[in-house]
Each structure stands twice: as structure tokens, then as C-alpha cells.
């Protein structure tokens, strides 16, 4: 019998959810997306999550994981950047129990993506330290050591050469500053070399939409550590949330 989990990925513009085959990491059936409410208060977002579970017909036996665009510390949001500021200090577990009538597993969205790549994607079977970075408007990060997540790392905010790293090296900055692939690769080289020096990882995985064009920039990098593109792309948050929830049962 197939082991099934449910993952919900909460973003600034949309809340996405799906059932996940926990053996393969593939989605089961359709992925449902609902526009993030405005304002995106805790109660409003929790009600969207409830609607998602109803539309997906998620049974009470199915573990549910929820990925957030914020750190999650012992179930609580310490600060929030992309949703309403009223999330600050909210215990996600208590909130969702109130609205959904069930316990959930909450985690940071980059952490969810990292777990998905380790469990099912580009880092499957890799021992040691894996660092997954998600390249977008900023740089999200996840560190997984022998399958165990080190939660809430913010490696996009490392200070390098006097700058917040993601303000120079994110894919968003490449677009904003209209950088060529070679010029952006020089910034990536400085960033990944610094992270490599700090952590000596066994593998880098680069996610985010730009990773679909990895042949344009990854070959330009000269690192001691192998660096590869992600495999799960836009399903990583959902899959990683479901995976973590299944491990927390």
C-alpha cells in the first residue's frame, strides 16, 4: 500500500497543496492552488489551508506538512517577511489545530525544498553535508547532514565583502541589474566559495527557476565541492513538507 502525505506550500501570492507518494516523492492527483488572501493574516491563511485539505479530500490518517516563507522555531514564527506582520509570535501548530482540527508539521519553505532534494531529488543517496540553495528574489538555504535537517539557516544573508549576499548574488539581482551569465557567475563564485569555506559540504544543490538554465552558469564555477541543479523545481516545497510530516508522526 502506498504511503501518502500531504504538503502545503504557503507563498506570498499563492497557497499550493497536493497529496504526495512518500515512496517516490511524486504528486498524487492534482495540485491545488488558492490565491493567498489579502491581508494574509494567520486566521485567513489557516482557512485557506482548511479549504485545500477539503478539496484534496485529505483523510485524518494522512500526515500534513506546511512550508512557510519564514523561520519556524519550535512551531512558532519569530518574524515574517512575505505575509502579514501579525504572524510574528504565532504558534503554527496551535493555529492549525484550531482551524483544521488536526496537528500539522510546520517548517521553513527552503528547508522543505532541501529535504525534498535529499529524499527524492538531486541529493538522494549523498552522505555527509548537503547544502541546498534556492535562487529567486533572494537566496534560500537548507543544510541537511546525513539526512538530518539543520533548520532555519539563512545563508542568503551572510555578509560578504560588506554586502548582504543575496543583494548581489541572487537570481533576482541578476534580472534586476540585467547581468550577463558570466558576470552573475563571478558573483556566484564569490558566494559559493565563501559558503564552501565555512561548511566544507559534500554537495551543493541549486534550486529555483533559474536552475532550469543551469548549463548557462554552473559550468562557469570553480569549486572544490560538486554543484548540481535541483530536480524537483516547483513541487519541492510541497514534497518536502509532506516528507517531514511523515517523519514527525
Q: Which domains does the chain have, with CATH numbers?
A: 4-109+237-247 (3.30.420.40), 122-230 (3.30.420.40)
| Strand 159-160 with 163-164, pairing | antiparallel
Q: Which pLDDT does position 1 carry in this prediction?
A: 64
**With a threshold of 0.75, does the pTM exceed it?**
yes
Q: What's the chain's length in residues?
A: 249
| Strand 203-207 with 227-229, pairing | parallel
Q: Which pLDDT does position 81 carry in this prediction?
A: 83
Cβ partners under 8 Å of residue 10, min gap 6: 36, 45, 49, 66, 67, 68, 69, 83, 109
Q: Which pLDDT does position 2 carry in this prediction?
A: 75
Average pLDDT per consecutive 10 residues, the chain (249 residues; last block may be shorter): 92 96 96 96 98 97 96 95 93 96 96 98 98 95 97 96 97 97 98 98 96 97 98 94 93
Q: Which pLDDT does position 9 carry in this prediction?
A: 97
Q: Which pLDDT does position 248 carry in this prediction?
A: 86
Q: Which pLDDT does position 197 carry in this prediction?
A: 98
**Burial grade of 160 (CB within 10 A; 0-12, 13-18, 19 or more):** middle
Q: Which pLDDT does position 32 carry in this prediction?
A: 97
Q: Which pLDDT does position 226 carry in this prediction?
A: 98
The candidate with the shortest Cα–Cα distance to 92, out of 110, 109, 114, 115, is: 109
Characterize 48-85 residue by residue with b for buried, 16 or more Cβ atoms within 10 angstroms of its Cβ, and e for exposed: bbeebbeebebeeebbbbbbbbbbbeebbbeebebbbe
| Strand 4-10 with 14-21, pairing | antiparallel
Amino acid at each position: 500500500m502506498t504511503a501518502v502525505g500531504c504538503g502545503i506550500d504557503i507563498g506570498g501570492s499563492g497557497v499550493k497543496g497536493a497529496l504526495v507518494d512518500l515512496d517516490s516523492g511524486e504528486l498524487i492527483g492534482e495540485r491545488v492552488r488558492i490565491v493567498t488572501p489579502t491581508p494574509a493574516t494567520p486566521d485567513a491563511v489557516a482557512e485557506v489551508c482548511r479549504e485545500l485539505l477539503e478539496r484534496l479530500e485529505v483523510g485524518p490518517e494522512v500526515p500534513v506538512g506546511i512550508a512557510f516563507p519564514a523561520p519556524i522555531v519550535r512551531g512558532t514564527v519569530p518574524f515574517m517577511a512575505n505575509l502579514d506582520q501579525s504572524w510574528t509570535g504565532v504558534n503554527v501548530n496551535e493555529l492549525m489545530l484550531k482551524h483544521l482540527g488536526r496537528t500539522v508539521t510546520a517548517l521553513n519553505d527552503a528547508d522543505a525544498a532541501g529535504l525534498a532534494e535529499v529524499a527524492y531529488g538531486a541529493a538522494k543517496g549523498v552522505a555527509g553535508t548537503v547544502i541546498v540553495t534556492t535562487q529567486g528574489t533572494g537566496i534560500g538555504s537548507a543544510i541537511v547532514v546525513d539526512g538530518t535537517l539543520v533548520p532555519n539557516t539563512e545563508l542568503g544573508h551572510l555578509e560578504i565583502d560588506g554586502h548582504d549576499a543575496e543583494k548581489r548574488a541572487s537570481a533576482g539581482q541578476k534580472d534586476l541589474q540585467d547581468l550577463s551569465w558570466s558576470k552573475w557567475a563571478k558573483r556566484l563564485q564569490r558566494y559559493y566559495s565563501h559558503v564552501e569555506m565555512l561548511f566544507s559540504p559534500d554537495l551543493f544543490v541549486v534550486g529555483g527557476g533559474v536552475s532550469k538554465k543551469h548549463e548557462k552558469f554552473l559550468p562557469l564555477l570553480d569549486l572544490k565541492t560538486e554543484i548540481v541543479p535541483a530536480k524537483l523545481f516547483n513541487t519541492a516545497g510541497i514534497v518536502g513538507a509532506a516528507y517531514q510530516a511523515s517523519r514527525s508522526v
